[in-house]
């Protein structure tokens, strides 16, 4: 199929626990994202969004199904991990005592980016993200919005083709949330495929090209955001996202 597909995930399944306590968090999820496309993964708490993102990012092994990032399987080919950057909710992937630039250099090192290159890219990313004047401030002194922007910058240091963002605007004030949304659009325009989870319909509306709605571990609808807005505007129906 088309070579502009960055992510192709097919029939992913994942259960947690054993015996009677066994719980199927993801029943059957398939997603495709093209280069430069933003897909919003929308659903209530506990629907299986984070588990899906972790399977795609190579962090949780699926019980069944396949993931392909630029044709590489993150569970079998470590090269695939160089293609993906992730910002997981509640785990901002940052060292609080280090400065933004030190964080970028450190995480770049983990992805085999030479220090000099990481520093150069770090300077550029901090500039693009409006964090240049904070590059020597310890992360713990930054606002939540700045930390979130930095977490995204860190996830981009190895120039992934797929960016995974778990609830990127959760807990941010309106201004910070708008800044993060603008950045996400810019990153997609730069050619990155983006999968973001949210339980807020307005975030999906503002940011995404396409929306996949997940409930109880299954995708129940998938369509262009434009179509979704057209369908629901003025109607009494609302997507109950918890």
- Contact residues toward ligand ATP (CB under 6 A) are 16-17, 25, 43, 45-51, 199
**Min CB(166)–ligand ATP separation in Å:** 7
The distance in angstroms from the start CA to the end CA of the chain is 36
Q: Are 83 and 65 in contact (CB under 8 A)?
A: no
Q: Pick the closer one to ligand ATP by CB: 32 or 199.
A: 199
The alpha carbon dihedral of 152, 105, 126, 145 has a sign of positive
For 163, the token pair is 């960016």
Q: How far is CA 82 from CA 45, 58, 108, 113, 214, in A?
A: 29, 11, 11, 10, 27
> What CA–CA distance (Å, rounded) separates 208 from 185?
8
Q: Which is nearer to ligand ATP, 103 or 197 (CB)?
A: 197
Provide the minimum distance between the beta carbon of 147 and ligand ATP in the complex, in angstroms, as a whole number. Answer: 19
Shortest Cβ distance from residue 20 to ligand ATP (Å)?
14
Q: How far is the CB of 163 from ligand ATP (least distance, A)?
A: 17
CB of 174 to ligand ATP, least distance (A): 21
What is the token pair recorded at 77? 């080919």
Closer to ligand ATP by CB, 51 or 225: give it.
51
CA–CA separation, 86 and 18 (whole Å): 28
Residue 199 phi, psi dihedral angles, 5° rounding: -115, 15
> What is the closest distance, in whole angstroms, from the C-beta atom of residue 130 to ligand ATP in the complex?
28
Grouping H, G, I as helix, E, B as strand and the rest as coil, residue 140 is helix
Closer CB to ligand ATP, residue 14 or residue 181? Answer: 14
Q: Residues 187, 142, 45, CA angle at the centre, nearest 5°?
A: 65
DSSP H or E segment with residue 227: helix 225-232
Cβ closest to ligand ATP, residue 6 vs residue 198? 198
Q: How far is the CB of 137 from ligand ATP (least distance, A)?
A: 30
| DSSP state, residue 136 | T
* Closer CB to ligand ATP, 50 or 179, in the complex: 50
Q: Is the CB of 25 or the CB of 126 nearer to ligand ATP? A: 25
């Amino acid at each position: 199929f088309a070579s502009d597909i960055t992510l192709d995930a097919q029939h992913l399944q994942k259960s947690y626990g054993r015996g009677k306590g066994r719980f199927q968090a993801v029943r059957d999820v398939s997603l495709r994202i093209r280069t430069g496309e933003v897909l919003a993964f929308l659903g209530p708490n506990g629907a299986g969004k984070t588990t899906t993102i972790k399977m795609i990012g190579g962090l949780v092994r699926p019980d069944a199904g396949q993931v392909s990032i630029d044709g590489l399987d993150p569970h079998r080919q470590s090269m695939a991990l160089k293609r993906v950057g992730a910002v997981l909710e509640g785990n901002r992937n940052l060292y609080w005592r280090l400065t933004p630039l030190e964080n970028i250099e450190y995480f770049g090192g983990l992805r085999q980016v030479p220090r000099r290159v990481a520093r150069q890219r770090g300077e550029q990313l901090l500039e693009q993200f409006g964090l240049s004047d904070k590059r020597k401030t310890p992360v713990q002194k930054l606002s939540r919005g700045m930390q979130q922007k930095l977490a995204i910058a860190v996830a981009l240091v190895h120039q992934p083709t797929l960016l995974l963002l778990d609830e990127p605007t959760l807990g941010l004030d309106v201004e910070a949330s708008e800044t993060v949304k603008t950045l996400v659009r810019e990153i997609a325009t730069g050619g990155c495929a983006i999968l973001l989870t949210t339980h807020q319909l307005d975030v999906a509306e503002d940011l995404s090209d396409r929306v996949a709605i997940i409930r109880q571990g299954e995708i129940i609808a998938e369509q262009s955001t434009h179509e979704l807005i057209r369908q629901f505007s003025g109607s009494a129906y609302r997507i109950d996202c918890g």
